[in-house]
Amino acid sequence: MTERAIEVSWLGRIGFDEALRLQEEIVAEGSAPDRLLLLEHDAVFTTGRGGDPGNRPEPTGPFGRVPVRRVGRGGEATYHGPGQLVGYALLDLRARGGDVHRLLRALEQGVIDLLRSRGIEGVRVPGRTGVWIGAGPNAAQPPRKIAAIGVGVRRGRSMHGFALNVSPDLDAFAAIVPCGIEGVVTTSIASEGLRPVPSVGEIARDAASTVPNAIEELLPVIGSTEEAR
């Protein structure tokens, strides 16, 4: 098996447009190594390429001045902002079997492993991409979404990734229909009672190991890029 390490970079807090340009530049480099960009955004709403305009914030509402960007990923509207860890997975999927659904599952698993290391039990909900808290037949409350996940593929490389709520302003999610799911309850690491509340940078250090490990386990390299074409 050909080894293909995933380079991890912590970019701190940067604007969404700047991060998108960086992703596009990396994807344009045909021979660029696999990378995971970890960062925190200024406030912005994003929606996938087929997103329903009705899921966006009302222009006259309290978050009406927050910019909205349509991006080349799947999924509906979501929010990014201070207090949220964003991870962009830029992988050569041709060398990893080209299975986008397995990439989604790998990102979910990386976040689940991260939360477990902090004493929080994150789970999947069948039919709903992302990571949830309190799901299952014996749950006392409705499931609460703690991480959104959406990816796109360009030139055989994945773009975008996951957004994990550490301590963001959760009121921003009430201004949209998060991920197109009516009535969804959004939560965060801070809201789940973890004390002291870690910084986004601290959670990024956890993600720097758990997310690449999950990707390598669920999407191992099957050969060189030339062999995978």
Amino acid at 72: G
Q: What angle do CA 20, 35, 198 make, to 5 degrees?
A: 80
DSSP character at residue 66: S
For the question of residue 148 being annotated catalytic, the response is no
Residue 35 structure tokens = 């990378």
- Could you tell me which residues come within 8 angstroms of residue 4 by beta carbon, excluding any fewer than 6 positions away? 33, 34, 92, 95, 96, 221
| Residues 211 and 85: beta-carbon distance below 8 Å | no
Spot the catalytic one: 179, 200, 214, 221.
Answer: 179
The alpha-helical segments, DSSP class H, found in the chain are: 16-28, 100-117, 171-174, 200-218, 225-228
Catalytic residue set: 179
